[in-house]
Amino acid sequence: MAGPAGEHWSSRFAFLMASVGFAVGLGNIWRFPYVTGENGGAAFVIIYLACAFGIGVPILMAELLIGRRGKGSPPNAMAVVAGETHRSRHWKVVGGMGLLAAYTIEIVYAGVVGWVLWYLYKAITTGFVGVDAQIAEATFNGVLADNVGMLFWTLVGLAITGYIIYSGVKDGIERAVRIMMPAMFLLLLGLATYNYFAGGFGEAIRWLFTPDFSKIGPATVLAAIGQAFFSIGVAMGGMMTYGSYLPRSISITQSVLIIVVADTLVALLAGLVIFPAVFNYGLNPAAGAGLIFQTLPVAFAQMPGGYGFSILFFIMLSVAGITSMVGLVESVNSWVEERFSISRHKSAMIVVGSIAVLSIISLMSYNVIGGVSMGGRNFNDIMDYFSNQILLPLGGLLIAVFAGWVITKEISADELGIKNGVGHQLWYFLIRFVVPPALLVIFVMGISE
């Protein structure tokens, strides 16, 4: 059993590395630890894990089983499975929503990965020596004002991503993630170990893991539901596409549990890399995306061995960014390859080339056309709202409905391979009665902002 053009994963390890790489993105690395610290530490982690296993695991299993059963790109996979159950093939529109979400996200995300690569270059060439808060802010503002520089590093990131996609599943994606993901894990462990001795580690531990149940309320639960859904990377077509390459011999259930646990551990470990430096040098842990590009360079400038630390840190971030881009682009690429019956080489160049062109608009939204808005939102804000507030929760909701109410129990039981009848009944209950209401809440909250 194989996906588009007969491609398939050669091992479960390769599939897991690619899936975890796709799930662990730049936002997850800085946002999850911060949200955890702000919402009760270990108390939030407990609620998050309940949401991850009650919402994230069932819908991720649904995406993978649809992809493997349909053996094609998300729209074609959903059409095939719908046809197998004698339902309308128009369900392929839901798969198309995932591709549109991935493509929309990638247009903006490619520019952010470009920033990371540019800062890696800055770390290598300057090590952020002598950088203080004012210099760090001026440096980042300089980056946002330099369209040529941003475009160059965006194209570098897209070129790396495009080469991996161009080379295929085994020779491209597998070969890359087999090297990049273990390297990222080792870098995280090494940097966290360094922080243990450098200072601020204890405060970071208390920030992340001291339970404060007084902070737990409806808003915290909503934050946990949203984090569980968005951090795992569902409803973007990537997991369904990766599922289409998944041989029958690999257990979907076991693999999903490993992916979700690994995704959570990486995010928490990233907190032990980022926040000790933040606390040790009296910086603001609530700096959001600016934490990476404005706050941490100040810490790098002050810490012993900051030059080496900064290089390794931005290598780790670059890996997280590139592996996420690979999953986003591959989902669209698989559909273009199928839809137009062209080679992977041609489809990769078309998809990556079009993203590169549209990313120019995204980059210019930080300066030249930043004042051009619609409903108070510029181009990047509109892309973010359309993908994250509309397409992802709505697409996830419809995938859950499809898996729970359209696909027969026999098909899902056969594809998931859950020998324990209780295990399948639990998944079936969650995907029908728990996941849809939760995603409906995320969708309503998102569009009402």
H, E, C per residue of 127-195 = CCCCCCHHHHHHHHHHHHHCHHHHHHHHHHHHHHHHHHHHCCHHHHHHHHHHHHHHHHHHHHHHHHHHH
- How far is residue 192's CA from residue 25's CA, in Å, rounded to a whole number? 18
Rounded percentage of the chain residues whose pLDDT exceeds 90: 81
The class that CATH gives domain 4-447 is mainly alpha
**Digit-coded pLDDT (tens) for 15-70:** 999 999 999 999 888 888 888 988 889 999 999 999 999 999 999 999 999 999 99
The mean per-residue pLDDT over the stretch 121-140 comes to: 95
pLDDT of res. 38: 85
The mean per-residue pLDDT over the stretch 180-206 comes to: 94
Amino acid at 73: S
What value, to the nearest 5°, has the Cα angle with vertex 10 and ends 6 and 11?
140
DSSP per-residue letters across 209-221? HS--GGG-SHHHH
pLDDT of res. 271: 92
**Digit-coded pLDDT (tens) for 328-361:** 999 999 999 999 999 999 999 999 999 999 999 9
Tokens 């569902």 belong to residue: 234
pLDDT of res. 31: 86
Domain borders along the chain are 4-447
Confidence band for 419, pLDDT divided at 50, 70 and 90: low
**Digit-coded pLDDT (tens) for 245-287:** 999 999 999 999 999 999 999 999 999 999 999 899 888 887 7
Whole-number mean pLDDT of the chain?
93
pLDDT of res. 1: 46
The two tokens of residue 290 are 């600016």
Query: How far is CA 312 from its chain centroid?
Result: 21
What's the whole-model pTM score?
0.95
pLDDT of res. 8: 93
Q: Is the pLDDT of residue 182 over 70?
A: yes
pLDDT of res. 4: 60
**Digit-coded pLDDT (tens) for 351-402:** 999 999 999 999 999 999 988 888 889 999 999 999 999 999 999 999 999 9
pLDDT of res. 166: 97
Q: Is the pLDDT of residue 2 over 60?
A: no
pLDDT of res. 3: 58
